[in-house]
């Protein structure tokens, strides 16, 4: 019934609109067979290394996709449609589809749904109140510099971080030394050989994670990146293919996958909507791959119940934003989620954050947003993983949460939790403290 309604809706558009309107329809094909069964099976097995586990996961998911997508792919090939088949979520993305092809796909019993692709947005940066700020206060506020100097401390060396964003200006003076050029970049839009950023957002967020010159939390880490967002908008196709690339990186051409090259964490400063589960299969595969997912919580505050997706998922670290005075940033999205869960999980500096900018190799910009908070938490995660790369997602989450600072500004209660009961729907478990979390890791207190 639902499938028929969808056909009717799409055909309706085709009939009612001039053909050039239909020509812009980009759709996603979802199959009845999901990926959970495969991931659960892989999770129950033992492997000698993480790379072997991810390689096996990929092979199993590819086999699943091959079986369930077989008929759909033959229709698409026959009609010479432009499409991308992905294994990470068992989906096919079709560009500029005709009503005839949609009908043929919907007639397949294995197809669960054909719908238009979503367009997601980076959490748009908010111009800073004051562009004269020079000190990278966020790095100091979370005591990252003190964490580097701890006996047994580190600055992220040995860890590989990643972001899915607008790309990175890889020649920037703060980022050029620790770009991992081997399996370090993928651009699903234009397949450029080297990282680029035509927006600035992705250079800024990567600078906060791993930039040198005092802007980054984990300047000793290596970084890799995927361009999920062409400018400020991000297609569902590109975000999903970036999610797949993060799980098992390929060369910039898209070929020669090597799952041993997967990063240790992925920082995501993008999102939209609420209670929206469209990215869940990618997130689940990251967990099986042992990649820690962090998401900005959104800039939809100060109202309660404004946490954005996918940061509102229970199995990602959702990061809210704080000011240099350790208050909540007014724009920072608050919990609870539409399902009644606590969010954010933690908070980090996000107002007036200075970091690398895309306009030149020596450019900097000071901007605000939960987009700027998430990379602080990603950098702190890198410091913990540099101490012990076997830490699980749950252990990292506990370390960040249990060692967070809680002398924070007061704020209106959300979902029954005020700013002095912990955890709460304003700050989560508090504002992260990298020194305390790393100290606890060094002591094995997790």
Ligand X SMILES: *[C@@H]1O[C@H](CO)[C@@H](O)[C@H](O)[C@H]1NC(C)=O
- Binding interface with ligand X (CB under 6 A): 23, 96, 98, 129-130, 132, 388, 390-391, 395, 444
Cα(390)–Cα(387) distance, rounded to whole angstroms? 9
Residue 23 or 193 with smaller CB distance to ligand X? 23
Give which of 345, 244, 251, 250 is closest to 289, Cα–Cα. 244
Catalytic residue among 89, 309, 347, 371: 371
Q: Which two three-digit tokens encode residue 320?
A: 């809210």
Please give the angle made by the CA atoms of 341, 408 and 146, to the nearest 5 degrees. 105
Distance from the Cα of residue 267 to its chain's centroid = 5
Smallest CA-to-CA distance from 345 within 372, 313, 368, 371 is with 313
CB of 427 to ligand X, least distance (A): 23
- Could you give the CA distance from residue 399 to residue 433 in angstroms, rounded to a whole number? 10
Of the pair 4, 390, the CB lying nearest ligand X is at 390
Q: How far is the CB of 133 from ligand X (least distance, A)?
A: 6
Min CB(329)–ligand X separation in Å = 14
Helix, strand, coil: what percent of the chain each, to 5? 35, 20, 50
DSSP helix/strand/coil, 113 = strand
Among the listed residues 165, 187, 345, 405, the single catalytic one is 165
Whose Cβ is closer to ligand X: residue 96's or residue 157's?
96
Has 371 been annotated as catalytic? yes
Return the beta strands (E) in 67-154 as ranges. 82-86, 91-95, 111-116, 119-122, 126-127
Q: How far is the CB of 12 from ligand X (least distance, A)?
A: 18
* Tokens at 109, concatenated: 């019993």
Q: Give the single-character DSSP code of 260.
A: G
Q: Which two tokens stand for residue 189?
A: 């839009």
With respect to ligand X, which residue has the nearer C-beta, 340 or 444?
Answer: 444
CB of residue 129 to ligand X, shortest distance in Å: 5
Nearer to ligand X, 98 or 194 (CB): 98
Q: Is 204 one of the catalytic residues?
A: no
- Residue 321 near residue 431, CB atoms below 8 Å: no
Separation of alpha carbons 322 and 325, rounded Å:
8
CB of 243 to ligand X, least distance (A): 25
For ligand X, the closer CB: 96 or 194: 96
Residues constituting the chain: 446
Alpha-carbon separation of residue 215 from 136, 209, 351, 357 (angstroms)? 6, 8, 14, 11
- Cis amide leading into 141 (omega within 30): no
Q: From the CB of 290, what's the least distance to ligand X, in Å? A: 11
> CB 384 → ligand X: shortest distance, Å?
10
Instruction: Tell me the C-alpha distance between 335 and 49, whole Å.
Output: 37
Select which of 162, 197, 201, 300 is catalytic. Answer: 201
Closer Cβ to ligand X, 255 or 444, answer by number: 444
H or E stretch at 368? strand 364-368
Helix (H, G, I), strand (E, B) or coil at 54: helix
Residues 121 and 218: their CA atoms lie apart, in Å, by 26
Per the annotation, the verdict on 165 as an active-site residue is yes
Question: Tokens in use for 236?
Answer: 């569902």
Toward ligand X, which CB reaches closer, 163 or 439?
439
Cα–Cα dist 308/401, whole Å: 20
Catalytic residue list = 165, 201, 371
């Amino acid at each position: 019934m639902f499938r028929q309604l969808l056909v009717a809706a799409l055909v309706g558009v085709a009939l009612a609109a001039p053909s050039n309107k239909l020509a812009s329809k980009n759709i996603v094909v979802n199959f009845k067979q999901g990926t959970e069964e495969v991931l659960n099976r892989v999770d129950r097995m033992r492997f000698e290394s993480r790379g072997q586990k991810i390689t096996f996961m990929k092979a199993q998911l590819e086999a699943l996709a091959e079986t369930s997508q077989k008929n759909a792919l033959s229709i698409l090939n026959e009609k010479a449609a432009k499409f991308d088949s992905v294994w990470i979520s068992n989906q096919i993305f079709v560009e500029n589809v005709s009503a005839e092809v949609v009908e043929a796909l919907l007639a397949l019993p294995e197809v669960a749904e054909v719908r238009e692709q979503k367009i997601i947005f980076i959490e748009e940066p908010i111009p800073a109140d004051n562009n004269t700020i020079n000190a990278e206060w966020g790095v100091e506020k979370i005591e990252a510099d003190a964490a580097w100097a701890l006996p047994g401390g580190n600055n992220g060396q040995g860890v590989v971080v990643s972001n899915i964003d607008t790309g990175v200006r890889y020649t920037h003076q703060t980022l050029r030394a620790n770009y991992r050029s081997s399996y370090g970049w993928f651009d699903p839009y234009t397949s450029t050989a080297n990282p680029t950023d035509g927006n600035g957002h992705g250079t800024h967020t990567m600078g906060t994670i791993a930039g040198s010159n005092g802007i980054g939390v984990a300047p000793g880490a290596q970084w890799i990146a995927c361009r999920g967002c062409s400018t400020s908008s991000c297609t569902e196709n590109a975000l999903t293919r970036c999610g797949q690339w993060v799980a098992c990186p390929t060369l910039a051409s898209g070929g020669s996958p090597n799952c041993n090259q997967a990063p240790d964490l992925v920082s995501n400063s993008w999102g939209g909507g609420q209670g929206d589960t469209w990215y869940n299969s990618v997130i689940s595969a990251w967990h099986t791959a042992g990649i820690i997912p962090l998401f900005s919580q959104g800039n939809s505050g100060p109202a309660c119940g404004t946490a954005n997706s996918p940061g509102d998922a229970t199995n990602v670290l959702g990061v809210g934003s704080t000011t240099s005075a350790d208050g909540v940033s007014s724009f920072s999205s608050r919990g609870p989620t539409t399902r009644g869960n606590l969010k954010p999980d933690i908070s980090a500096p996000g107002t007036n954050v200075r970091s690398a900018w895309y306009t030149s190799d020596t450019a900097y910009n000071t901007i605000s947003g939960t987009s700027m908070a998430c990379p602080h938490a990603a950098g702190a995660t890198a410091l913990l993983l540099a101490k012990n790369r076997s830490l699980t997602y749950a252990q990292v989450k506990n370390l960040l949460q249990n060692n967070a600072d809680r002398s924070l500004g007061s704020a209106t209660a959300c979902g029954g939790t005020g700013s002095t009961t912990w955890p709460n729907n304003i700050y989560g478990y508090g504002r992260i403290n990298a020194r305390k979390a790393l100290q606890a890791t060094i002591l094995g207190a997790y």
